[in-house]
A and B are shown apart, each in its own frame.
Chain A
C-alpha cells in the first residue's frame, strides 16, 4: 500500500528537530526509514508529521571518545559494516552487522533507527545489550543518558519520551585479545532472526575466564542479558561441560509466539546458540593468547 498523508519536515540541526517535534502533534522521527517506511506503507503507523533527521550531518560519525566508541544515531549500518575502527575495537559488532537486513537496506538503515524501533530480534539491539551500550538522548531539557537495559523498556518500546531524539550510542570495547561469537537462525539470509546469540569473553593469563557477556535476541520482548550464565563462567576454565551447564538457564525463557515459530522451538534454540557463541568467543580469545 501507500503511506497515509503526512507533512514532511527536514530539519538541519538537532535543535531544529527538537523544535519541530515540540511544535507538532503526532509527529514521528524518521531515521533511515527501513522500519518506519514499511509501517507507513502497511498503514500500521499514522503520524501527522514526519521529522526526517537525514539532513543533520553531525549525527553521522564513528569515533573514539575516551574509553568508548561513540556512534552517531544517523550513522548508516553500511558505514558500521565498512568501518576499520569498528572492525578493530568492536569485532563482534563488525560480524553481527552483516546479518542486519541486506546490502540494500544497510545502505540506508541507521543504528539509531534500529534501536528506536527495538525489534526483539534485531542484531543492533542485541549488540547494544551485550556490550551494555549507553544511549544518548536529546530533549527539550537537554541531554540524558540511559543504559541499554533501561532504554529497552518493553516490546518495541524504547524509553524515549515524546519530543526526544536519540543522538548517539556509546560502546565500551573489550580489552585487546578478547574473544567474541555471534550466530543466528533465520528462515532466510537477512530475515529477522528466530533466535540470535552474541558473546564476549576475556581470559586470564592462565586461561580462566576473567569476564563473559552473553545476550540473546528473539526469545523475550527485549534482548536479554543472561547474567546467570555470565556468573557461572567467571573464574572458570571453559570446556564443553561447563558451557553446557552455564547456558542451560537460557532455555528458561518465555518467548513470544508468532505466525512461524512456536515458543518451544525458540526455547530449544536458545541454549544451543548460547553455547556455540561462547565456545567461539573462548576459542578466539585462546587463539590470540597463543
Chain B
C-alpha cells in the first residue's frame, strides 16, 4: 500500500463514496476530481476567497483548508445538494430574482455559507448578513444584491413572503 494514500468514506449530499486518496489532497479537489462535483469552485487556495466553502457535518468551512482524509466518516454538503430534482430552492431563487450573481464563480461558496447561516439565524439583520458574507469575495456583482437576496430568502423560508 502506498503510504501516501488512504482509503476514506465520505457521505456527500447523502451518498457515501469510498476512494483511495492522496494524503495531501484537499477536500475541494476530492469533490471536483474524484467525485466530479464541480459545483464547488477553487479560487485562491489559501482560505481567503471563500469560493470553495462547503458544509462538513453542517458547518461551513473552506474546502481548500480541509484535507480529504479529514472528511473521512463525515457528511459533506455541496451546492449540488440545494436544487432538489433540479428545482432551485428558495435561496437560489432569491439570488436569481435579486441578480445576486454575474459570473457565478463565487456563488457556490456563498450559497453554502448562507445555507448554514439561515438555518441557524432565521431572522437575520442586514448587519448580520453582511458580517457572515465578509468571509467571501465577489469581484463582479458587488455585495448589495447578495445581502438583498439573503434577506429575501430568509423571509421566504420563514413563510412570510412568496418566492
Contact = CB atoms under 8 A, between A and B. Distances in A.
Contacts of A6: 4, 23-24
B157 interface: no
B66 interface: yes
Interface string B58-78: 011110111101100000000
B26 interface: yes
Contacts of B132: 102-103
A107 B61 CA distance: 7
B14 interface: no
A190 B46 contact: no
Interface residues of B, number: 30
A2 interface: yes
Interface residues of A, number: 30
Nearest to B73: A55
Interface stretch (A30-38, A213-221, A236-244, A270-278): A30-38
B52 to A, nearest CB: 10
A206 B66 CA distance: 53
B65 A37 contact: yes
B3 interface: yes
A157 interface: no
Interface in A90-129: 101-105, 107-108
Contacts of A190: 134-135
Nearest to A8: B23
B26 A102 contact: no
A189 B131 contact: yes
A107 B60 contact: yes
Interface in B33-50: 45-47, 50
B107 interface: no
A3 interface: yes
Which secondary structure dominates chain A's binding surface? Answer: loop
A104 B117 CA distance: 10
Contacts, number: 91
A81 to B, nearest CB: 12
B113 interface: yes
A50 B23 contact: yes
A271 to B, nearest CB: 28
Contacts of A41: 26, 45-46, 64-65
A54 interface: yes
Interface string A140-162: 00000000000000000000000
A7 B66 CA distance: 15
B61 A2 contact: no
A168 B70 CA distance: 22
A4 interface: yes
A78 interface: yes
B122 to A, nearest CB: 16
B66 A2 contact: no
A140 to B, nearest CB: 24
Given A103-B131, A108-B62, 10 more contacts: A6-B24, A8-B69, A10-B69, A38-B46, A78-B59, A103-B113, A104-B53, A188-B134, A189-B134, A190-B134
19 contacts: A2-B26, A5-B4, A5-B24, A6-B4, A7-B4, A8-B6, A8-B24, A8-B69, A33-B67, A37-B47, A37-B66, A38-B46, A40-B24, A41-B65, A103-B60, A104-B53, A104-B61, A104-B62, A189-B131
Interface of B: 3-4, 6, 22-24, 26, 29, 45-47, 50, 53, 59-62, 64-67, 69-70, 113, 116-117, 131-132, 134-135
